[in-house]
Structure 1
Amino acid sequence: MKKIKDKYEVVIIGSGMAGLSCGLMLAMEGKSVCILEKNAQIGGTLQTFKRDGGKFDTGVHYVGGLDEGQPLYPYFKYLDIFKDIDIMKLDENAYDIISFDGDDNLYPHAQGYDNFIDQLVRYFPDERENLVRYLDDVQALCKKFALYNVYDLPAKANELEYMYDGAAQRIRTYTSNEKLQQVLAGSNILYAGEEEKTPFYVHALIINSYIMSSYKFHHGGSQISRSLNYSIKERGGNIVRNAEVTSINHNDNTVESVTLADGRTLKGDIFISNVHPTETIKLMDQSRMRKSYLSRIAHLENTVSVFTLYLVLKPNTVKYINSNQYNFKDGDVWQLTNYKPENWGKDFAVFYLPDNKNPEYASVITVMAYMKIEEMTPWLKTFNTTLQESERDESYQNFKELKAQFLLDRISQIIPDIRSKIKSYHTSTPLTQRDYLNTTDGSLYGISRDYNFPLKSQINTRTKMKNMYFTGQNIILHGILGATISSVVTCAEILGRDYLLKKIKSVL
């Protein structure tokens, strides 16, 4: 086991994007930092893995807003990540493709506001003015959210007033063309969009960043976690893998230490949890906490989970497509999470990576379809991680094979004869998400946002303990951008908002 000190100024539970970013920002301020990761790999959804010569991302398939002057750029610049990543720009005329069974059109989402409109007007010639109104409102809304763009911070942020708008409902106000409504929301697998719940601000913040610019990480999202890892260690920080926290030890208002599975105890002045709030609370002495707070955290609704099919391709068999594709069977993009077991997999997303030796062809393909944790009921009490390996029974393997075959049939609709081009295929389920990422019910994007009750899903980075903070996708927004902003919000509470923002702006 890696040697660790008895006490650090900052102890961080979880090494996802936000946990690592917090660790680096605080280490840059001279604080002694220790990050505890229960698994063998750091990075959370930044992790990559290899199978049969193919390299796959677990969660970060592409990223938006990375060019200078855009939302993610100043944070990556401040954290000095650019020196360590190899990025490739997606097709400027179609970073995303939205397609529907029975419709031969491939509807593009393009990079650049004017280009986004121009590409869609080819399919919807009478909708230019409506698309202009839509994008004007998306941009205006994004400018009102603090820390979304540090170049142009709002004088006063009152974000709550914009949280009562539904995405599906708002999109309908821009156009009566039902197909265009579906196309505009066609990438909503990125945020588990639900017609009667998803706020417009979630849609706007996410799609706006991709319209600004869209990139893939050529060698996977783990480049980011490696960069943060090296930078933290250069500043004397400690990242400990295979270090599962089993209890957070505290009195009525202060956390004193954490205990690890091997019995070791670490004291700290400041504690940050990059783990889901519900899972964090389970590690604490709940008898010392208000029942109303416990109830609220325990009853947070979470986004759906996912089943993923990973395809290793035979060399030079599938042409590389520099776009992501979202395909829908029934033409309704808002029913992704409302599937019935018998029609699971009807809607799916496809992500390609090029072959390093011959980039005209794809080396691997990742196919994702939402899956509810209820489908995992027979195996919920089984756990399988690097530290705690457990062979799940034959019924689980049969279940995964059945779903894999169904998805192979589905993607044959857009990649003909795909089966003959596959070298091998591999799968993951909601249990994989749960076990390796420590998310409640394997939730893909953490806490579900609901425009009907926006306050219900708002989690403050400050906790009931005066020296403990939350960070991560559950605080502001999910994804690389959301997790990074949440880390800034967390560190701003510790270091001072004006002080930290001045530091970030100083590198621009």
Structure 2
Amino acid sequence: MIFDMEKQEANYDFVIVGSGLGGLVCGCILASEGYSVAILEKNHQIGGMLQVFSREKTILDTGVHYLGSLNPGENLYQLFKYLGILDELKLKRLGPEKVDVIRFEDGQEYAIPEGYDRFTQYLTKEFPEESEAIYAYCEKIREVCSCFPLYRLDASAPRYLEHPEIMTLNAFEYIGSITQNKRLQNVLAGTNSFLYAGNRSSTPFYVHALIVNSYLSGAFRLIDGGSQLAILLSRRIRNSGGQIFRRKKVTGARYDDKKMIAVTTEDGSIFYGKNFISNLHPASTVRLFGEQHFLKVYNRRITGLTNSISSFTAHLIFKPGAFPYLNYNIYQYHRDDVWGGPDYTPDTWPEQYFISTPAHSKSPEYAESMSVMAFMRFEEVAEWADSFNTVAEPGARGTDYERFKKQKEEQILVRLEHVFPGIRRQIKSIHSSTPLTFRDYTNSPDGSMYGISKTTENPLSTVISTKTHVPNLYLTGQNIFMHGILGVALGAVATCSMFLEKETLIRKIADA
């Protein structure tokens, strides 16, 4: 690495744009392998959706509510061990008898426990006439997961390429094919809403299978917030010689012929590199680095893909000792259709929402806060789309926007009273975020929570390569493999496999 302090110019093996989990994992792997690495972050806080914020001395998460695949030997467990952060993570195990609760308007609740044995035993007890369907469902999940080698920390070629029917198998239709029991159908698909924003007409079963399997394989919360992941990874990066620059908003790139040679930032800094990795959404990457440098067909494809819906999140801060800590999550449905959340009307909103009480070290018996997430389309906040507001670039959206948020907070409270009667009396304050908040902090189009939506209609169109048509520009993040902590981390492994011998890297992770 060459660094010229006077000219504010640097030359690195890798310049990574964005310090979300994908960028941090890439930086950690590459720096540990001896490459010089610079990570550029526009915000004052690193981590992307790992960021936290504090209100009234209470830590509030922005996006990470729980992690899967953290039992010994599972894929995320092995990856965190390889990265050198596993032993330092402060974790709170969920379950094992109750990791998630699927709850309906009639008050009926169904637990999703940890592990296939507990899962099948519980559901066959609740639905004794559906044991064949329940076992078939579990076997199908295992079968599908076996076709994704990277998911199994295997360097062999993806088997789904040999079995295109896996990519075109619709989640809603498959679940409906194994049982006619509508309630069981809804329970089996009950976590689809806020784990991957499922769509009944297009979501592939493989998306459902990979995610459900991960949470059956060891679910945990991060005590005191998801930012500890970013802190530990950044420490590992710096210990390996890498550098992380905050408040460095990348505004463009310099090229020599067809190759990128540098990125420029808003403050006039120039970062030269041999290779560049973008942790941004692919469409944002194309806009940032110049559409003229990408093939027109690639531009049309990337910009034409459908993004997942966004969210309105209400953060409730409780009075001390007022509300018990819940060591599980609740997926609440106010109608018997777990796939219908994005189709809400303003009058029926929120028809479904996700409830989580974060784990805090100060009060293990009582919840300091509760996060309530409900789908929200960007069109609801479109009138404020020209505004921008982050800690690094503060701005105001006006009193109408604040009034809108208060109205939505009240609608959520009305719903919550059905789940937790009297909860208003236990609340000290409420703070909320909208799709605009997601957009401004993560640079995701329309504040999309889960990036590009996977589809059965043309499945390979939503499989985004880590390579771009700029020879030394690569992608990482939730659009490469899958969203979520596990999906993004494995996607970063795929990105790094472009530069490191894939089989050796995956063996190191598997044997860590």
Shorter chain as denominator, the TM-score bin is: over 0.9
CA distance in 2 between partners of 1:150 and 1:39 (Å): 33
Partner of 2:342: 337
Partner of 1:175: 179
CA distance 1:386–1:117, change in 2 (3 Å): same
Query: 1:441 offset after TM fit, Å?
Result: 0.6
CA distance in 2 between partners of 1:172 and 1:329 (Å): 21
For the 8 Å contact 1:146–1:154, the answer to whether it is kept is yes
Equivalences for residues 312-391 of structure 1 within 5 A: 312-354=317-359, 356-391=361-396
CA distance in 1 between partners of 2:204 and 2:253 (Å): 34
CA distance in 2 between partners of 1:86 and 1:497 (Å): 30
- Greater alpha carbon shift after TM alignment, 285-294 vs 164-173: 285-294
CA distance 1:506–1:391, change in 2 (3 Å): same
Asked if residue 221 in structure 1 is aligned to residue 226 in structure 2, the reply is yes
Asked if residue 26 in structure 1 is aligned to residue 30 in structure 2, the reply is yes
CA distance in 2 between partners of 1:2 and 1:505 (Å): 44
CA distance in 1 between partners of 2:308 and 2:373 (Å): 15
Asked if residue 71 in structure 1 is aligned to residue 67 in structure 2, the reply is no
Partner of 1:94: 98
For the 8 Å contact 2:155–2:502, the answer to whether it is kept is no
Read off the aligned partner of 1:434 and give its amino acid letter.
R
Query: 1:360 offset after TM fit, Å?
Result: 2.1
CA RMSD of aligned residues (A): 1.7
Query: Which residue among 417, 421, 428 is the counterpart of 1:423?
Result: 428
For the 8 Å contact 1:250–1:284, the answer to whether it is kept is no
Partner of 2:498: 493
SS at match of 1:76: helix
For the 8 Å contact 2:15–2:276, the answer to whether it is kept is yes
Query: 1:324 offset after TM fit, Å?
Result: 0.1
CA distance 1:156–1:176, change in 2 (3 Å): closer
Partner of 2:110: 107
For the 8 Å contact 1:146–1:157, the answer to whether it is kept is no
SS at match of 1:370: strand
Read off the aligned partner of 2:324 and give its amino acid letter.
K
Query: 1:117 offset after TM fit, Å?
Result: 1.2
Aligned length: 506
Partner of 1:12: 16
For the 8 Å contact 1:143–1:153, the answer to whether it is kept is no
Asked if residue 54 in structure 1 is aligned to residue 64 in structure 2, the reply is no
What runs of 5+ residues in structure 1 fail to find an aligned partner? none
Asked if residue 504 in structure 1 is aligned to residue 504 in structure 2, the reply is no
Query: Which residue among 35, 38, 44 is the counterpart of 2:39?
Result: 35
CA distance in 2 between partners of 1:118 and 1:152 (Å): 34
CA distance 1:478–1:130, change in 2 (3 Å): same
TM superposition score normalised by structure 1: 0.96
What runs of 5+ residues in structure 2 fail to find an aligned partner? none
- Greater alpha carbon shift after TM alignment, 448-457 vs 352-361: 352-361
CA distance in 2 between partners of 1:153 and 1:178 (Å): 39
CA distance in 2 between partners of 1:383 and 1:492 (Å): 36
- Greater alpha carbon shift after TM alignment, 10-19 vs 288-297: 288-297
CA distance in 2 between partners of 1:285 and 1:47 (Å): 28
CA distance 1:3–1:410, change in 2 (3 Å): farther
CA distance 1:298–1:2, change in 2 (3 Å): farther
TM superposition score normalised by structure 2: 0.96
SS at match of 1:362: coil
Equivalences for residues 97-136 of structure 1 within 5 A: 97-102=101-106, 104-136=107-139
Read off the aligned partner of 2:65 and give its amino acid letter.
H
CA distance in 2 between partners of 1:250 and 1:456 (Å): 28
CA distance in 2 between partners of 1:290 and 1:17 (Å): 28
CA distance in 2 between partners of 1:388 and 1:174 (Å): 51
For the 8 Å contact 2:53–2:60, the answer to whether it is kept is yes
Query: 1:129 offset after TM fit, Å?
Result: 2.1
For the 8 Å contact 1:98–1:325, the answer to whether it is kept is yes
- Greater alpha carbon shift after TM alignment, 60-69 vs 122-131: 122-131
SS at match of 2:280: coil
CA distance in 1 between partners of 2:430 and 2:22 (Å): 31
Superimposed CA distance per residue, residues 269-294 of structure 1 (whole angstroms, 9 cap, x where no aligned partner) = 01000000100101123234322111
